[in-house]
Amino acid sequence: MNGSAWPRRGGIFLLLVVAVLYWATLDNGLRPGELEGGDLITHQYAQVQARPSNAPGYPLYTMGGWLWFHGLRALFNSVGITPNPVSLLSSYSTLWALVSLSLLYQILRRLTRSPVRPDGDWPVALLLTGFYAVTYFFWYYATTTEQYTSAIAHTLAILYVYLRWRDQSDKSARGSNLILLFLAFLCGLSFAHMITVAVIVPALLIAVLWQEPKLLRRPPLIIGALVAAALPLLSYIYIYARGAAHPEWWGVGDWATAWEWFWSFVRTSQGQEELGWGLQPGAAFFANGFPEAIWQELSLPILGVGLVGVGMLDKRLRLVLWGTLALYALLCWVDRFGNWFQVILPAYPLILMGVAAIIQRFDGRIVHMGRLARKSEETDISVRPRHRYDVRNSSLALLAVLILWRGLASLPAADSRDRPGDTALVRPAQLLAQSLPADGAFFAAKDDALGLDYLITIGGVRSDLRAVDKREASARLLVGEPVLVTKDAAGLLLGELVGIAPQIQSWSADWIELLPPQAALGREPAVLLDQSVGDGIVLHGYSITGCSLEVDRCGMDVLLFWSVQAEATPSDWSVSLRVEGEGHVSQQDSPGPVTGLRPFSTIEPGQIVVDGYRLDAGAGANELLLILYREIEGGFENLAEERLTIFTPRQ
């Protein structure tokens, strides 16, 4: 194999291994609290709906995320796959993480070039990049929905392009000028992406002018660079346009025009803290694990060697890295309040560049000793040139051990797949998996509403449904439109309805349907009985769904259809429904039909009330036991005990 192919193939192999690692630990769920707000959920909605993200908007990142999400989902759907929306959104961070690692690998190779290694010390570059890939913060944000890996890729892209320009022999050539204009564009891009990336710009500008002071005497190039740096700001037109089209996204505030909202949005307190001093300088410097996390993540040897090694780079690059690290430290000291990781994440690869410089420096010296040894062979001086390889192999072995240590230490916290606490979407998914009416409106309690909205808006599940608040629910009922409400939230909504007394029916074991007073039911039981059970109460029939003969145990949904005889005024009896299987009994009690919201005494002759229950049916269950009862002094009184055949008997 051609020796020059090894660096390229080594880099491809590393990216493939890391991609598999990140895929295996990719986020695929949400904790209940995460749906209530925060950067993670804000970015997800922004990328799916092409809406402004948290201030100042991250327009380019968001637009890229929109293309990534909808493009990939369309691709998966075209082959019959329904992707997990959380994983799909998190994979956008993975994409930027892989770009970051590719850039870091190329930079480390470039920094370790020598006459002996014209392609750079690619094994060292490979291992250092692999080490960074398994540091906790980078790994975690590579597998969850955040913009930090893109900011790291942005920072490394600036460094890579600077190194390309630095190594151009003719700084006045057209190619060199184009590289410089692209570098200006990348620097200006930080103001349309993540503003902390701009921390690298001051030292970089000094280094460029230090190397090529004649640039100050080239007005056309300066003007071109300023224009290139300003171009990304045009992306804020997108923020304004989307905000003006969707005032419902503006949030809390009082704005007379879209322009007032836009200006307030881009100047919000978060954005101002990104650009200036906070209110309590130094308050966060030693908070939330900082700066201990730096040496805990990198290890003291890597941190120490890296900081020393930065000083061994060429003087201009040394200025860029030292200047950037110093500004990172200043920014952390000023006021980060828990967000310091967004500036130390790009600091880690800068420190690893110093490690590469140290290894190259010692490797270079030992190569020189080897040459002396070969020269001294004629004089019988015993110097063993193999020491060069011993030291080098020891360095590589140590880096491999550090990768294993860091990877094993990071894995438990960085693994975001199948976390036990990711239950926020479990119940909402169960609610939407049921047969719900097309183009329906629903009302739910906060946690359920957030999860349902997420699955509908982001997951694309039952996109014909929409959430309504109490006011909208009342308006729908007044114009004759039904409203679905979760069983847990039915009492809350009914207590807020004014001027209307809807019919209350169970749609399923989880959902209650509110109908306008004069609306017809429109549903019939699968098993028709019209059987009197006493006190004027009639069991019109029942339906069973949800069980399968092939499953030993499953949830069985039962709908009971109640009515009353003419001129009957029944008492308010409670309902008990149970099923017995092989060594298993499942029972659900209710103070009356529809969890007591439709007592028997409120049912008028001619009305049919649907009453929903869920039981856990065991193997061998062939019938249900229905009991109507009421509590009396000293115990209970039963009105009726009825056995209902399960029309798909459990075998």
Tens digit of pLDDT for each residue in 98-141?
A: 999 999 999 999 999 888 888 889 999 999 999 999 999 999 99
CB–CB of 326/350 below 8 Å?
no
Q: What is the pLDDT of residue 277?
A: 52
Q: Give the pLDDT confidence of 484-528 residue by residue, as tens digits.
A: 999 999 989 988 887 788 999 999 999 999 998 877 777 899 999
Strands 511-515, 635-645: parallel, antiparallel or unpaired by DSSP?
unpaired
Please give the average per-residue pLDDT across 390-411, as a whole number.
87
Question: Is 553's pLDDT higher than 70?
Answer: no
Element (H, E) at 489: none
Look up the pTM and report it.
0.87
pLDDT band at 292 (very low <50, low <70, confident <90, very high): confident
What does the pLDDT read at residue 424? Answer: 93
User: Comparing 388 with 119, which gets the higher pLDDT?
Assistant: 119
pLDDT at 82 over 50: yes
The predicted pLDDT at position 333 comes to: 73
Q: Is the pLDDT of residue 644 over 80?
A: yes
pLDDT of residue 339: 60
User: Distance between CA 432 and CA 456 in Å, rounded?
Assistant: 9
Residue 281: per-residue pLDDT: 56
Averaged pLDDT, 85-109 = 97
In the numeric block, which tokens belong to residue 380? 């019988």
- Residue 300 token pair: 């003291």
> What is the average per-residue pLDDT within 594-610?
92
Long-range contacts of 68-72 (CB under 8 A, 24+ apart): 68/92, 68/95
pLDDT reported for residue 634: 81
Does residue 617 carry a pLDDT above 80?
Answer: no
539: number of Cβ within 10 Å: 22
> Looking at residue 196, what is its pLDDT?
85
pLDDT of residue 332: 76
Highest mean pLDDT among 170-184, 335-349, 540-554: 170-184
Residue 198 makes CB contacts below 8 A (sequence gap 6+) with 187, 190, 191
In the predicted structure, residue 372 carries a pLDDT above the cut 80? no
Q: What is the CA radius of gyration of the chain?
A: 34
Element of type H or E holding 511: strand 511-515
Mean pLDDT of the chain: 86
Residue 520: CB atoms within 10 A of its CB come to 8
9 or 620, which is more confident: 9
Q: What is the pLDDT of residue 428?
A: 93
Lowest-confidence segment of 183-187, 243-247, 580-584, 640-644 by average pLDDT: 580-584
Backbone φ and ψ of 53, nearest 5° = -85, -170
Which pLDDT tens digit goes with each residue over 146-198? 889 999 999 999 999 999 999 887 767 788 899 999 999 999 999 888 888 99
CA distance 569 to 566: 9
Confidence band for 257, pLDDT divided at 50, 70 and 90 = very high
